[in-house]
Amino acid sequence: MSLTGCSSAPDLATPRSTIAPYSTARGELLWAVAPLRNESATSTVDALAVSDRVVEAVEQVKGVRAVPMNRTIETMRALKMPLVRTPGDARKLADALGVDALIVGSITAYEPYDPKLGLALALVPRTEAMQGRAMPKDQGVDPRAVQSSPTEIAPPPSSGEPASAVSEFFDGKNQAVQMDVRTFAEGRSEKTTAIGWRRYLKSVDLFAEFAAYRTIDSLVQAETIRLGVAAAGQEPKAAAPLGAGSPRPDPRREASAAPKHDSNN
């Protein structure tokens, strides 16, 4: 009894949050995810299951809400649109759903054993809220409509072209990916269990959860860079790869800093 009374609950860790770079003066933005296309070399992948994981990942972004996948599929059926193939399809679907932005993409690689998953996602903006601008305060707002409508009531015409796009490949055998999985699992798995964080490497569904979260995180980072560059009026710079260390050294500085040898020695 004394040993039981002295035992304490395991330490809990708070997962890192992804924060959207948009104005939320009128509330969170509304995104939808079109069912992902299967462009991998296997037909065994459940594309809808992976798409659901992407929706869940969007829901974890602070400042953004996601339309349920079932609602998106129902809307596509009403439009007689089996897949989103063109910018025109993306614009049409985003208009029908009434969202601020639509995510379209594909599964580029898939392996359920020693899991591998590749995702390519593009974000198609529909409203001015995606440019970091909110609706003027003097415009009337129906509180009930805000719960199921995008941030902008009267959006400008959308070209259907993506504002940001990312492509990620995750190999469960790669040690860098394993370290990333371990970081992701902190706060999402019990440290006291025998398998612990490695359960995300043993289940393809859990691995898809990790991959979707990391790809959406990269997409939001790309949007943050885009809006920051647009605000500064500068040309975009290439983003450093995830997990990169210090900036590359300047060869000219290294040459000038190198010790000079006396020619007489």
3-state secondary structure the chain: CHHHHHCCCCCCCCCCCEECCCCCCCCCEEEEECCCEECCCCCCCCHHHHHHHHHHHHHCEECEEECCHHHHHHHHHHCCCCCCCCHHHHHHHHHHHCCCEEEEEEEEEEECCCCEEEEEEEEEECCHHHHCCCCCCCCCCCHHHHCCCCCCCCCCCCCCCCCEEEEEEEECCCHHHHHHHHHHHECCECCCCCCHHHHHHHCHHHHHHHHHHHHHHHHHHHHHHHHHHHHHCCCCCCCCCCCCCCCCCCHHHHHHHCCCCCCCC
pLDDT of residue 211: 97
**Domain coordinates in residue numbering, the chain:** 16-133+149-233
Q: Quick one: pLDDT at residue 249? A: 46
Per-residue pLDDT of the chain (265 residues), as tens digits, is 455 455 555 565 666 789 999 998 889 999 999 999 999 989 899 999 999 999 999 999 999 999 999 999 999 999 999 999 999 999 999 999 999 999 999 999 999 988 999 999 999 999 999 987 544 443 333 433 434 445 443 344 456 789 999 999 999 999 999 999 988 887 676 665 557 788 899 989 999 999 999 999 999 999 999 998 766 665 544 444 333 333 444 444 444 444 455 545 4
Q: Give the C-alpha separation, 39 to 6, whole Å.
A: 54
What would the two tokens of residue 100 be? Answer: 């601020």
* Percent of the chain topping pLDDT 90: 55
Confidence (pLDDT) at 8: 54
pLDDT of residue 9: 54
Domain 16-133+149-233: which topology?
Rossmann fold (3.40.50)
Report pTM. 0.74
